[in-house]
Amino acid sequence: MARVTVEDCVDKVENRFELVLLAGHRARMIASGSALTIARDNDKNPVVALREIADETVAPEDLKEDLIHSLQKYVEVDEPEQDVPLLAGGDDDVAEDNAIAFDRMSEEELLRGLESMVPPDKQDDF
């Protein structure tokens, strides 16, 4: 039986460090119950993972994306914000809301106001 070597995989994944990361991730996937794409031939999971990469039965790009998603702790989902009315009421409430004028402040006015503020005295606790 021929063993897989790093040279068999380097032409698929050029960076050896990335190859180790991807093969390790695939080996963990196999250990957790993922289906094999090649015959095991009494090999251990890391060797099977390297053989899968060398035979191109798994795409390195897909492994890379899966590895990135497995390492993320927070995944931001882009969802459109819904417009929710702040006040519930009839048409009379809407007419009254339109009659009230609120003070609006531009960004420049806000920045000028913040810059004119005096910082509190610093106290040394030492």
Contact 23, 9 (CB under 8 A): yes
pLDDT score of 1: 42
The tens digit of pLDDT for each residue in 9-20 reads 888 888 999 999
Instruction: Give the list of residues 6+ apart from residue 51 with CB closer than 8 angstroms, or none.
Output: 4, 38, 43
pLDDT over 90 at 26, yes or no: yes
Helices (H), the chain: 6-10, 16-31, 45-54, 60-71, 91-99, 107-116
Report the pLDDT averaged over residues 52-68. Answer: 92
Span 69-106, pLDDT tens digits: 988 887 677 777 777 666 555 555 555 555 555 567 78
